[in-house]
Structure 1
Amino acid sequence: MKTKIITYIYAFSFIFIWNAFVYKIILNFLLNLKFIPADICYIIINLIPLIVLFEVIAKIVFISTISSKLKFVPAQLESLSQIDNKTFNYYTNALESLGFTRISDLELSESSLTVARIFSHPKHFCFAEVMQTPGRSSVFCAIGSALEKEWSVSFRDNSFVHAIVYAFLRRPKGIIVVKQGVTPEELLRSHLKFRQKIMRDLNLQLT
């Protein structure tokens, strides 16, 4: 109930502020550019609030559907139905050959939303996840690191999952990069290179 009230308050506040102030400012700016046809300007100005409202409200609705009782529990992936064990084993062998240590297999309790195999790297201080939604063929790998000041970096090899994460779960300090179709070795190399740059540029350390 609280989530719904917050959603309505946000929606009405946004619409009021948009119609009262922002609409005219952005419309005049677009019209003054001259090289954009007026019809296109009006289309853009009407699409912007729809996009903003959809993303934020959809996030709130999506999060509100997740039970607070959900938690990850240990699992035996080999015994679960509809799991692509062949692909899981491929990722497992590839990650272990890169120095990752397998920690555990997990599934989301009270749901068939996802299953995951978790790894850690004792040298590079990062984690890897191999995940699948039971019943779907898509198995993907993600390599991530946690940094100071709530920053995080995650490299993934599946664009479809990335689209969902970007739309619903992205955070200002949570960087997600997709390297579709690459090997786990290339994924790790790209992750470490990018992580080093972020740490240097933002003066951050690993946590």
Structure 2
Amino acid sequence: MHFVIYFLGIALLNAELFSAKLSPIQSGANLTEFVNFRRQKRTLIFEGGGLVKIDAGAIATVNVDEPIAWRSIVSINNIQGGFYPLPAVPTYPWDKWENTFARSMKHFQELADFETDDSRLFVYTLLEVLMERQHGNGHQCLLRSICQNAQVDEHVGMFSEIMDVVLRPGKESIAVAYTNAFVAGKADVDCMRLYSECRVTSNFLDQYFDYV
């Protein structure tokens, strides 16, 4: 009997191994595609799957005073719910709430009241007033300082770095003249000739343009 069981086991094993053999590769076949096909990841997503039924209940024993211990009566009461079809495509929580978050962010951006940063314009106005009081035509002198600062290759010293940040127009809403002055300096324009209306040779900002 043991020999028969052993023989059947060997026969079944050989049958499984024979069926699991790889099919021969044809001439001219793509080996990469063949290997990828054999090693592709398998998933447990059933197309056209069955139904899920909700079934809840309670079970309790009934005391009948039976003299024989192994005899008993069990009362089972259950409630069956509706049928829920199994989805063929998995549902992820981030996909469910993605549109909701996008709508909320869009609504928040529409209601947000962003204040304009006028700090650079305030500093430029203050510098122009100080230059105007010292030697006149503060606007042209500030534009010349912005132009000259753009021509400095490397700033040395803390005050020079600070002045570079101040005299480098950013993306704020300021007059185009300040941006044009910086662009002209980057193009190696003669700042003294371009802003010749500034009559002084140097102003109090020039002492901080330390460079190498």
The TM-score bracket by the shorter chain reads under 0.3
Greater relative contact order, per chain length (Cα 8 Å cut-off, separation 6+) = 2
Q: Which has the higher strand share?
A: 1
- Normalization by structure 1: what TM-score? 0.23
TM-score (norm 2): 0.22
